[in-house]
Structure 1
């Protein structure tokens, strides 16, 4: 006996990935509904590679009564309206927006990192999915934190345009094409030209000079892993279609050698260590696309602190950073709370 599952925002980048991953991982669905805004009502979407087609239903009129799990992949405004309705109807919401992440009554879950937190979902019947850049980082940090206790993290991100949705991907493509044919590269979605450039600005600026994306990484990591960890982030948009990369520097309370860290990461859940100290002995974003793993490379000791390491972390942001993590939460929810049959 399976679950009745709703994917809200099914026509977007993340929503489509949710459908693909539900099918790939053979999530036990007795029934699945693809739901989106009125603009997409009646469109058809393929459910993974099963050949099964789903007709898109209108979110405004969708009744969540009798459905078990709703994976939300819409913006905060739509989530604010419809997630409470779904939750009140008895359908557990797994939300990919930023709306509920810092709500003390809503667990923020990465299954490899803090699975026990999911038990708090009953307060609002909602579970939050972290920011894409946070998700992959905490998967890499957690096993090292367990071994040597992290004091401080300094991270610089190299985030793909798919993190800004289809508009971001279209803009990179159009600007690149225009530059090659001599046409102007007009910035619409991003604040500056993204083709052949990098932009040290994601989301809005805050009073302290950081951006909201940087604040998210700090606040969410503390909620997931513990408030004692000090974190500073610089988030940068780069001209890559899919796949976020991060250069992470970590300071520990206890000594941890690069060799020992490699050994720990090699056995850690959700991690794939590719770390050969030779040409090409590391993973780049283009190589992680379509994969479930968070890849770690370039593990090395930092001699400027008493116990420090630097590493390179890459993951498919549409998967582990969003859709995969949401499906993993649904799997965890099923194992712990919504057992069927």
Structure 2
């Protein structure tokens, strides 16, 4: 099952939703794995997880767990990353962190391989995986930015409940069942478990993801704004975001308005760029009702783009509809893809 020569990989948060997707992604890719260590909290330690038909017991994460590890994939919450990522680096591992703990650290590259793979060469042991909603947007925008420049981004998101974890998925299903059977919905998690009020998500839309900041934007919205500027190396790019939770289990959707730097670009020009770009599937045939939808994106690694329209008033303005599986490209696949890029660039050695 494992390679005689390969990488020693650790997955931290192996029993969580994203951790499980990381394992599925590792199963489906050709990253050479010599040893696989699965780590979690003490509560989940002892759980057995199947990987390529073999049962692997999940261990409690401790500093010494990272001895001999080449790459550690973290997705167990920001506090765990802050506690154990430095310990892993101290022992020689490269950390790919899927939390917000290090994303805006100026010494930590924030990477989407289709956009800024070269930033990996500047890592100091920790590499940050961006927010799921940011990832799919910058993948769609980068080919356009490279060809025509980018002057402004305004995005409204339509985000699935899986982005808030397994408990939010259960809440959506239970509320839907209760309402359909004439019972009262009992919200306890969304929009934010630790916030003052909770609202029904079944048959509803909640215009809040994460807590509100002093400027009136939510933390999720500020993540998209700041991360986009960092990934694209455009600190002065005007970016605005409104992030909304929908009663969809998996798959984030985004309505994106952009203003490019050059005049004269057409919809076919934009379509042609996206059709040839890595990691993108163009679905844009409105005459035949062909456009991206989250239901069709689930289980797929790519970012889907459609509904490309020229703005009716702004010469350099375009509208796009962008959809992706938030647990895959938005988390697990982007993390594994970074690991593959490290190998491709010669930044990690096979032993």
Give the TM-score of the pair, scaled to structure 2: 0.94
Q: Distance in 2 between matches of 1:209 and 1:61?
A: 39
**Aligned pair 1:291/2:303, yes or no?**
no
Q: Indicate the RMSD between aligned Cα atoms, in angstroms.
A: 1.0
Unaligned runs of 5+ residues in structure 2 are 191-197
* Aligned equivalent of 1:204: 211
Q: Deviations over 1:60-113 (max 9, x none)?
A: 365211110000001111111111111111111000000100000000000000
Unaligned runs of at least 5 residues, structure 1: none
Aligned to 1:282: 291
Aligned to 2:186: 186
- 1:107-157 deviation digits (Å, cap 9, x = unpaired): 0000000011111112xx100000000000000000000011110011000
Secondary structure (helix, strand or coil) at the match of 1:265 reads helix
Whether contact under 8 Å (2:110, 2:129) holds in the other structure is: yes
- Corresponding residue of 2:326: 317
Cross-structure match for 2:349: 339
1:50-199 alignment runs, 5 A limit? 50-60=52-62, 62-122=64-124, 125-190=125-190, 191-199=198-206
Give 2:260's aligned residue: 252
Q: Which runs of 4+ in 1 moved over 3 A?
A: none
CA contact (8 A) 1:38 1:60 kept: no
Deviation per CA, 1:18-65, whole angstroms, max 9, x where unpaired? Answer: 000011012210010111111111111111xx2122111111365211
Compare 113-122 and 259-268 and name the one that shifted more.
Answer: 113-122
Q: What is the rounded CA distance, in whole Å, between the counterparts of 1:62 and 1:35 in structure 2? A: 12
**TM superposition shift of 1:242:** 0.3
Residue by residue, what CA displacement relative to the aligned partner does 1:234-257 show, whole Å, maximum 9, x if unpaired? 000000000000000010110221
Give the whole-Å Cα distance in 1 for the aligned partners of 2:313 and 2:53.
55
Q: For residues 286-327 of structure 1, what are the alpha-carbon distances to aligned partners after superposition, in whole Å with 9 as ceiling and x for unaligned? A: 100000110001011012212111010000000000000000
SS in 2 for 1:313: strand
Residue aligning to 1:20 = 24
SS of residue paired to 2:142:
helix
Rounded Cα–Cα distance in structure 2 between residues aligned with 1:276 and 1:36: 45
CA distance in 2, matches of 1:102, 1:223: 8
Structure 1 residue aligned with 2:276:
267
State the TM-score, normalized to the length of structure 1: 0.97
* CA distance, structure 2, for counterparts of residue 3 and residue 69 of structure 1: 7
Q: Distance in 2 between matches of 1:184 and 1:117?
A: 50
Q: 2:313, 2:59 → 1: CA distance?
A: 56
